[in-house]
Structure 1
Amino acid sequence: MKKKHLFSFERQKLLLVCPRNRLNAKDSSSDLCVIRSDCLTVYRHGKVTRSDVCSVRAELVIPRHHRGVFYYEVKIVKLDRWVLVGLAEKSTPLDYEGIVHIYGYTSIGEFWGHSVHGCEYYKNVPLMKRKDEFGVGDIVGCGLNLATHTTDLLVHQSDLYPYITLKDVADKVTANFGPQFEYNIPEEYLRSEE
């Protein structure tokens, strides 16, 4: 019985989300429109500009804790070629493809930003190809284990923000910063810790 209580306590502390987080309309490419009613939906409008890609960051930085998981989800509403869902530093440009200091997963099955044996490079940015693709109607989860991120994933203990990139006109996604998610991350995380 005592173990069950401890399990419940650990589960409550496990998921560290920013429940009031939302996409930052003031920290987005000028070619994007963040729908202001809730600032959770973003789309690329129909104007033709110089930008090859357009990105938006969330308002709040990922919390710096020594344990737990930061997690958010993105639902793909409309998609032409590709979108990227991930994490990026504040200094990451919002309208340049092939940038550094980004850690993300594209809908065409590429994981960008983490150099590992066998990875390829595009404009000096490491990427892994041939991963699962996703598309319209899919919900993509982006999680970061806060206990290990400074040594296993990221360099320089950078402050990171949720970061979404849209490639084509009319691409549209909706973010979910919790606490109700499609994927039950606490149960999956606790299973992997056993």
Structure 2
Amino acid sequence: MISSSSTPSFDDFDRKENEKKDDVLILNDDGQNEQNDHSVADKQLKASISQSKKMKNDQKEKKPNLEKVDELEKEQKKQEEKKNKLSNAIPPGFQMNSAEKFSIPQQNYWNSCTDRLEITCGGLTVHHSGNGNWWLSAFAKCAIPSNNFGIVYFEIKFVHLKKSAAIGFATKAMPLDGRVGLYDNSYGYESNGTLWFNGAYQTGHATFKFFDVVGCGIILENRQLFFTKNGRCLDHTDLFASSSSLVDPLFPCFSLHDNGDKILTNFGPNFEFDLNTLFC
């Protein structure tokens, strides 16, 4: 007879089977967790590598941009130094314009001319009143300074112009019945588009007529002359006043040819031409 205590019951068998299943589940769970841990680590490693590559690429892109910024800062510094050279001091009787550069003094006016030129409106308006057609010229009261800083500039509006006129700088050795630019130490821009300097000439520049605003200036630092028309500078860089004009001073000057011609003058500071563009 078999003892009942030694015979496993169905309940015992089921219990053992369930214990085995639990052990298998525990093993499976541990394996799955370990696999998940490896997957997360791989993803983190890939993300770290990707971020490292991106940082390297960003550094490569930033390097040329930084070089461009350095170049722009150096260029800006050069421009500031150039401007400062022209604004270290104010010449006697001169005023600073909005661009912080020097223009011809506001109190300047036309006062030296023949009796066939009528000067009105405080010396700023001049009318050719001669009986015939010939060159008549006028000089401003104030000469340009002999120092080496600042800009002297003035503009003329031709209210009436039949044919010929000229604007420029000249010494008072030039005759009043002559044209500016035709004589020694005189420099002029004629209405037919010709630049005159000490009797020599250069053709092919812009012409001007009545109602045009024409300007003439000199950069005292290097004695370079420049001319403008309606707010734009003529394209030339090779016209310089001779050193002899430092002894015999230059004056703003203009010449009219025909009876009835008339001009209005602006000695500053509010010009059609922006002096800032000379340094661009």
Which of 158, 162, 166 pairs up with 1:84?
Answer: 166
Alignment partner for residue 149 of structure 2, among 31, 52, 67? 67
Deviation at residue 141 of structure 1 after TM alignment: 1.1
Give the whole-Å Cα distance in 2 for the aligned partners of 1:44 and 1:12. 34
Q: 1:171 offset after TM fit, Å?
A: 0.8
Higher RCO by CA contacts (8 Å cutoff, separation 6 or greater)? 1
**Partner letter of residue 119 of structure 2?**
V
User: Which 5+ residue runs of structure 2 have no aligned equivalent?
Assistant: 1-76, 88-97, 225-238
Structure 1 CA distance for aligned equivalents of residues 253 and 103 of structure 2? 17
Q: Could you say which structure has the higher helix fraction?
A: 2
The residue aligned with 1:119 is none
- Match of residue 110 from structure 1: 194
- What are the superposed Cα offsets for residues 167-189 of structure 1, whole Å, 9 maximum, x if unpaired? 0001111111001111111x112
Establish whether residue 189 from structure 1 lines up as the match of residue 274 from structure 2: no
Match for 1:141: what amino acid?
Answer: G
Aligned counterpart, 1:38: 122
> 1:63 & 1:76 partners in 2: Cα distance?
27
Instruction: Give the unaligned 5+ runs of structure 1.
Output: 115-124
SS of 1:188 mapped into structure 2: helix
Structure with bigger gyration radius: 2
1:160 maps to which residue?
A: 250
* 2:217 match: secondary structure: strand
- Correspondence for 2:69: none
Displacement of 1:12 in angstroms is: 5.9
Distance 1:55 1:83 in 2: 10
CA RMSD of aligned residues (A): 2.4
Determine the structure 1 residue equivalent to 2:102.
15
Residue 23 of structure 2: aligned partner? none
Which protein has the bigger strand share?
1
Structure 1 moving runs of 4+ over 6 Å: 6-9
Report the Cα offset of residue 101 of structure 1.
2.4
User: Normalising by structure 2, what TM-score?
Assistant: 0.56
Q: Percent identity?
A: 29
Find the counterpart in structure 2 of residue 120 from structure 1.
Answer: none
**Structure 1 residue aligned with 2:263:** 173
Structure 1 length-normalised TM: 0.79
